[in-house]
Each structure stands twice: as structure tokens, then as C-alpha cells.
């Protein structure tokens, strides 16, 4: 009887221990497995230049408080860098290390995984990294299906900026990040700051009638950008009048339209904003190409209103918090 009693007690003890262990596992899974669902547009494409690519609105399930994140967008890296990875609970990141702007080059070290290029993910590195979340943007959006397939259905967040609604896109991304990291204290002040400073500058702009042309220099090549282009934050949110309202036909143009010095002279803009692509990607500055008789005879040149924009902020890191503050500051010099 004593033997039987001990056996029964042992079985009960094992059962209780097992039950408690099971409860702990369920509790841990609930804490670590929390997710949110974000509605977003994704691109389905077989390659970067797939002419048959298509866009679909989907609901993406994303883990809350991801610990390991692969980032293909410098704007988001800018935001994470400003807040601090440790405050967000991020333990490891993979980033694109080529053409990192100076203020983000601290991520070019052996502790940070090389994610590939802005256009092409390094699947081998990412497979070993095993991210909880991958963040893609305009240049890498095509790789959505490839990343899903090769990385076991990993959660992917698309932070692509709508050029025609730049500030709203940045705010939208900040709202999504607030949900993902379950923290309004860290993200809401950034939104308020950007909105306040943008509206303040807009008020100053609307007190003038300056007309502006946005150009990009790249070696000896110059291109122009109008309403709806990748730099149209200047026109759309800040309300600076375009020198030619029809230029670019209001299209969502990322590459710009080729223009001549004669065209610049004929528009005679009050302001010329210049993005130097060559310097943005680490090459020799090409701003000197605009130093000629035709450009120098414009109202912008005569009145010292040729504004060289921070090329990294406008061309490489657009969509970030710090980069957007730089963009606002670049334009503010005209109204201080």
C-alpha cells in the first residue's frame, strides 16, 4: 500500500509540474508572439525591372517589438538612430552599408549585418540573420515576394513615400512604427515637431510670391523636377509656387526631366533649388555645372537665391525625422 501511495503521489507531482510548465509556455508565447495587422500596398515582381509587376493592398501581420530588423530604407534608420535602438528594444539590425550618410555611418561596422543594396537584398546574409521584420521602401519594394519566399514568410513593412504627399507619408510611417513598438511617447513628439515646423515655414512662404525651379545635377547632366516629383515637398507641403506649373505634368517622377540652361533662363525662376546627386552618392560635386552665363542671368542668381540642398537628406535619406528637419531648414534660409 505504501508503495502504491508513493507511486500515486509521484504521478500527481509530475502532472502538476507538467501543467505548470504548460501554463508558463502559453504565457510566454502570448507575450512574445503578440502581433498587429497593418494594411499596406506591396509590389509583386519577379525582378527589379519586371514590366509585369503589380501592386496589391494586403493586410500584413507584424510582430510587436521585433528584436532583429533588416532595414532597406535610410529614412527609417534615421528615425531609429534618433530615438535609439536600445529604447526600442532592438537587439540586432541589418542595414544597407553602401552610401550611408555621414551621420549614420556608425552602422558600418562588424556588429551590423550587411543587408545588401538599396535595390537588391543579400539573401544569404539575411537568411543567417533570421530577422523578425524586414523594412522595404521604393527601391527595394519589388523584392517583397522574394523575401517572403526565401526567408520563410518573414513579416515585411513597406515604408515607401508618396512623393505627392510627403509629410503625410512620413507621419503614416511614424504611426505604424508607434503601433509596432507599442510606444507613443517616443514617436508622437516627432510627428508634432515635423507638422509644427512645416506649417510654420508654409506660413512664411505664403507671404511671398517667389517661384521656384528644382534641379538635380549629376556630372554634366541636369534634370528638372516639378509638382508631384520626388522633391515636391517644396511645392505641395511648403506651398512654394513652381516656376512652371505644367512642368513634369504633375507626374510622380523619380528621375526628373532633362532640361537645358536655355530652359532655366526662359523660366527665370526667383529661386533655384539644387540637389547634387554626384555628391550624394559619394562622387565629386557637380554643382559647378550651373555656373554659366545663362543661369547666372536668372533672377535667382542675381538675388543670391540659388539654394544648394543637403543632397543626402533630399536624395538618400528622405522620409526620416532628422532628414526632414534638414529639408525644412534648407528652405527656411530664404525666409529667415
What is 59-85 written as a DSSP string? EEEEESS-SEEEE--HHHHHHHHHH-H
Mean pLDDT of 233-245: 94
Judge: domain 35-160, CATH 3.40.50.1980: yes
pLDDT computed for residue 117 by the predictor: 96
- CATH architecture of the domain formed by 206-332: 3-Layer(aba) Sandwich (3.40)
Mean pLDDT of 162-174: 94
Q: What is the band of 249 on the pLDDT scale with cuts at 50, 70, 90?
A: low
CA separation, residue 40 to residues 9, 77, 262, 271, 304 (Å): 56, 20, 43, 37, 43
Query: Which residues in the chain belong to E strands, given as ranges?
Result: 35-44, 54-63, 68-71, 92-95, 113-114, 133-136, 155-158, 211-218, 221-225, 241-242, 257-258, 271-276, 306-308
Percent of the chain at pLDDT exceeding 70: 88
Tens-place pLDDT, residues 80-102: 999 999 999 999 999 999 889 99
SS3 content of the chain, % helix, strand, coil (to 5): 45, 20, 35
> 164-189 as b/e, with b when 16 or more CB fall inside 10 Å?
bebbebbbbbbebbbbbbebeebbee
Q: The whole model's pTM is what?
A: 0.87
Q: Which of 30-44, 110-124, 203-217, 256-270 has the lowest mean pLDDT?
A: 30-44
The secondary structure of 91-133, three-state, reads CEEEECCCCCCHHHHHHCCCCCEECECCCCECHHHHHHHCCCE
pLDDT computed for residue 32 by the predictor: 63
Domains 35-160 and 206-332 share a fold: yes
Domain boundaries, the chain: 35-160, 206-332
pLDDT computed for residue 226 by the predictor: 87
Q: Which of 49-53, 155-159, 248-252, 331-335 has the lowest mean pLDDT?
A: 248-252
Which of 169, 159, 162, 161 lies closest to 80 in space, CA to CA? 159
Grid cell at residue 228: 508631384
Q: Judge contact between 316 and 185, C-beta under 8 A.
A: no
- Whether 21 has a pLDDT exceeding 90, the answer reads no
Q: Judge contact between 225 and 248, C-beta under 8 A.
A: yes
pLDDT computed for residue 227 by the predictor: 85
pLDDT computed for residue 3 by the predictor: 39
In the chain, what is the straight-line distance between the N-terminal and C-terminal CA atoms, in Å? 95
- Whether 112 has a pLDDT exceeding 90, the answer reads yes
pLDDT computed for residue 211 by the predictor: 96
Q: What is the band of 59 on the pLDDT scale with cuts at 50, 70, 90?
A: very high
| Rg of the chain, C-alpha, whole Å | 25
Amino acid at each position: 500500500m505504501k508503495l502504491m501511495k508513493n507511486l500515486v503521489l509521484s504521478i500527481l507531482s509530475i502532472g502538476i509540474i507538467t501543467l505548470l510548465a504548460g501554463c508558463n509556455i502559453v504565457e510566454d508565447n502570448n507575450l512574445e508572439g503578440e502581433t498587429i495587422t497593418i494594411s499596406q500596398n506591396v509590389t509583386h515582381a519577379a525582378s527589379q525591372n519586371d514590366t509585369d509587376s503589380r501592386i496589391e493592398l494586403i493586410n500584413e501581420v507584424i510582430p510587436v517589438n521585433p528584436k532583429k530588423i533588416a532595414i532597406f530604407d535610410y529614412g527609417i534608420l534615421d528615425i531609429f538612430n534618433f530615438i535609439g535602438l536600445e529604447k526600442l528594444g532592438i537587439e540586432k539590425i541589418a542595414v544597407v552599408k553602401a552610401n550611408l550618410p555621414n551621420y549614420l555611418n556608425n552602422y558600418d561596422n562588424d556588429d551590423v549585418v550587411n543587408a545588401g543594396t538599396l535595390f537588391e537584398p543579400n539573401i544569404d546574409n539575411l537568411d543567417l540573420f533570421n530577422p523578425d521584420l524586414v523594412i522595404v521602401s521604393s527601391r527595394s519594394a519589388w523584392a517583397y515576394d522574394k523575401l517572403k519566399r526565401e526567408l520563410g514568410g518573414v513579416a515585411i513593412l513597406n515604408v515607401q513615400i508618396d512623393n505627392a504627399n510627403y509629410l503625410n507619408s512620413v507621419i503614416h510611417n511614424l504611426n505604424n512604427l508607434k503601433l509596432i513598438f507599442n510606444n507613443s511617447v517616443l514617436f508622437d513628439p516627432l510627428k508634432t515637431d515635423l507638422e509644427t515646423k512645416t506649417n510654420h515655414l508654409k506660413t512664411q512662404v505664403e507671404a511671398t510670391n517667389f517661384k521656384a525651379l528644382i534641379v538635380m545635377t549629376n556630372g554634366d547632366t541636369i534634370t528638372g523636377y516639378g509638382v508631384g516629383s520626388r522633391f515636391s515637398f517644396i511645392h505641395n507641403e511648403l506651398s512654394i509656387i513652381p516656376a512652371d506649373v505644367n512642368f513634369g505634368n504633375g507626374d510622380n517622377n523619380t528621375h526628373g526631366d532633362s532640361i537645358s540652361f536655355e530652359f532655366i533662363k526662359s523660366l527665370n525662376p526667383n529661386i533655384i533649388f539644387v540637389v547634387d546627386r554626384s555628391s550624394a552618392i559619394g562622387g565629386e560635386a557637380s554643382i559647378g555645372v550651373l555656373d554659366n552665363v545663362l543661369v547666372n542671368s536668372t533672377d535667382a542668381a542675381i538675388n543670391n537665391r540659388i539654394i544648394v540642398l543637403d543632397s543626402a537628406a533630399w536624395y538618400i535619406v528622405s522620409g526620416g525625422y532628422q532628414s526632414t528637419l534638414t529639408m525644412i531648414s534648407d528652405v527656411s534660409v530664404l525666409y529667415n
